[in-house]
């Protein structure tokens, strides 16, 4: 039977390296996906996922076990994402649509196919951070609103409202783009 996160964490606290590895492997994809959804590029997502785990293991004594380890990781990751987005907003950031040139034969088809996706991507990118957080956690990570509230440090109702506003904004963005 697989050990729970708490048990692994206890073993890590006693200096067990295997427990550390198991915990990272168990959650690495989730945290990377979260970071990628929020930051939208591999380098930043990989960096942020790594920092999330480093912060979690550095401060594991502060984890009071009122929520699951995964939720706590989400919280740390989301805080780091928020900081990264805030820092990024300070810099002049020219948004260029990323194209994989090496393998592409028909660049025009690729550009046309990416157009719709890009419109949605742009709309998601322009969402306010809280709305984007709620959307990402709900749509891609299938969290209940109560858990989203815990991760976002807000009430369940606020999380729900943020999510609804995000969907409404996206709908309006797509309708205006198609029209």
Report the interface residues with another protein, using CB under 8 A. 17, 20-21, 24-25, 28-29, 32-33, 36-37, 41-44, 46-47, 49-51, 53-55, 57-59, 61-64, 66-67, 72, 75-76, 79-80, 83, 86-87, 91, 94, 96, 98-99, 101-102, 107-108, 111, 117, 120-121, 124, 135, 139-140, 153, 163-164, 167-168, 170-171, 174-175
Name the residue among 110, 113, 131 with its Cα closest to residue 173.
131
Rounded to the nearest whole angstrom, what is the least distance from the CB of residue 155 to another protein in the complex? 16
Smallest separation, CB 167 to another protein (Å): 5
Q: Which two tokens stand for residue 121?
A: 């991507």
Find the shortest distance in angstroms from Cβ 2 to another protein: 17
In the bound complex, what is the minimum distance in angstroms from residue 160's beta carbon to another protein?
A: 8
Helix (H) or strand (E) holding 56: helix 42-58
Residues, the chain, total? 179
* Minimum CB distance to another protein smaller for 10 or for 165: 165
C-beta closer to another protein: residue 10 or 55: 55
Of the candidates 78, 46, 56, 74, the residue with the CA atom closest to the CA atom of residue 9? 56
Q: Please identify, using beta-carbon distances, which residue of 14 and 62 lies nearer to another protein.
A: 62
Question: Least CB distance from residue 135 to another protein, whole Å?
Answer: 7
* Distance in angstroms (rounded) separating the CA atoms of residues 125 and 138: 16
Of the candidates 106, 92, 100, 165, the one whose C-alpha atom is nearest the C-alpha of residue 133 is 165
Distance CA 145, CA 136 (A): 12
Nearer to another protein (CB atom), residue 10 or residue 20: 20
């Amino acid at each position: 039977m697989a050990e729970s996160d708490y048990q692994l964490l206890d073993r890590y606290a006693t200096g067990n390296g295997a427990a550390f590895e198991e915990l990272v492997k168990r959650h690495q994809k989730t945290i990377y996906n979260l970071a990628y959804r929020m930051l939208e590029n591999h380098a930043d997502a990989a960096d942020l996922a790594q920092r999330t785990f480093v912060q979690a293991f550095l401060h594991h004594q502060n984890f009071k076990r009122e929520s699951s380890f995964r939720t706590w990781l989400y919280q740390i990751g989301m805080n780091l994402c928020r900081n990264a987005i805030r820092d990024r907003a300070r810099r002049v950031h020219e948004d260029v649509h990323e194209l994989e040139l090496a393998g592409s034969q028909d660049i025009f088809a690729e550009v046309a196919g990416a157009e719709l996706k890009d419109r949605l991507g742009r709309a998601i990118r322009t969402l306010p951070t809280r709305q984007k957080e709620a959307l990402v956690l709900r749509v891609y990570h299938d969290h209940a609103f109560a858990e989203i509230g815990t991760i976002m440090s807000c009430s369940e109702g606020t999380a729900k409202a943020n999510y609804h506003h995000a969907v409404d904004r996206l709908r309006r963005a797509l309708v205006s783009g198609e029209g």
